[in-house]
Amino acid sequence: MPKTTIQIVTMMCPTGLGNPNASCRFHRASDNLTPDGMCPNCRLPLVKSTDPQDKMTKTVMGEEDIEPEILKDDEEKTKEGKAKMTNQQKEAYRTKRKADIVSAISEARKLEDK
């Protein structure tokens, strides 16, 4: 499974919608809004962005990133004089990271702007 990039629902200050030169370009992902749902600068209610260039994205690592993680771990352990992962530990790590990727994609899809 390759890296996955998902555009998520993004809320913006209405003064910045479709205006790249606006003085206020405050925006937040829908899962990280201000407590009152207002722009902290302009005090206007945040609105949903419809411009793909304004939308935030979440990128989830792909399976191609697992082997470099294992190599990096082995390098660090070698520098520290510690034992490297055994083949069994590496396989368990691969299995866990694959499950982590599936879970992360599922969670990101819940926020996807369709």
Residue type, 15: T
Predicted confidence (pLDDT) per residue in 61-113, tens digit = 999 999 999 999 999 999 999 999 999 999 999 999 999 999 999 999 999 98
Q: Name the amino acid, one letter, at 103.
A: S
- Structure confidence at residue 91 (pLDDT): 97
Backbone angles phi, psi at 112, to 5 degrees: -60, 140
Do 52 and 31 form a contact (C-beta atoms < 8 A)?
A: no
For 13-71, how does the pLDDT look when each residue is reduced to its tens digit (9 = 90+)?
998 877 777 788 888 888 899 999 999 988 999 999 888 888 899 999 999 999 999 99
Q: Where are the domains of the chain?
A: 4-109
The gap between the terminal CA atoms of the chain, to the nearest Å, is: 21
Angle of helix 66-80 relative to helix 87-109, nearest 10 degrees, comes to 130
d(CA 48, CA 98): 33
